[in-house]
Copies of this chain bind each other. A is one copy, B any other.
């Protein structure tokens, strides 16, 4: 993210190629007026969640090393899936607000198409 990038005003956004400078997270962190709602998270919160998920994946490796009961390992995998779903919903939410609704009208259409393709991949899981 370039310094002095004024995001809320969408100032130099159109100077950049479509889909390159649009981040769900920074606007939320700086947009003081808007209440943080539901899925939306700041960049720091997002990184904290991702580190926790990384720790959960390492935890599963340890469980396998220790020959823990497979059902317990599967329960942990389902928990990671749920945590990843939450992160994904947070990103989708930020993207929808910032990069779709907040985009210049001429690119909203493509941005919506991208959003829906991402939702489809998440529903089918990859």
> Which of A's residues lie within 8 Å of B, judged by CB?
1, 10, 19-26, 34, 37-39, 43, 46-47, 50-51, 53-54, 57-58, 60-61, 64-65, 67-71, 73-75, 77-85, 87-89, 91-97, 99-101, 108-109, 112-126
A23 and B70 form a contact (CB under 8 A): yes
Question: How many copies make up the complex?
Answer: 4
Residue from B78, B91, B109, B115 within 8 A of A121 (CB atoms): B78
CA distance A51 to B61 in the complex (A): 8
Contact B54 A85 (CB under 8 A): no
State how many angstroms separate the Cβ of A25 from the closest Cβ of chain B: 7
Whether A93 pairs with B70 at a CB distance below 8 angstroms is: no
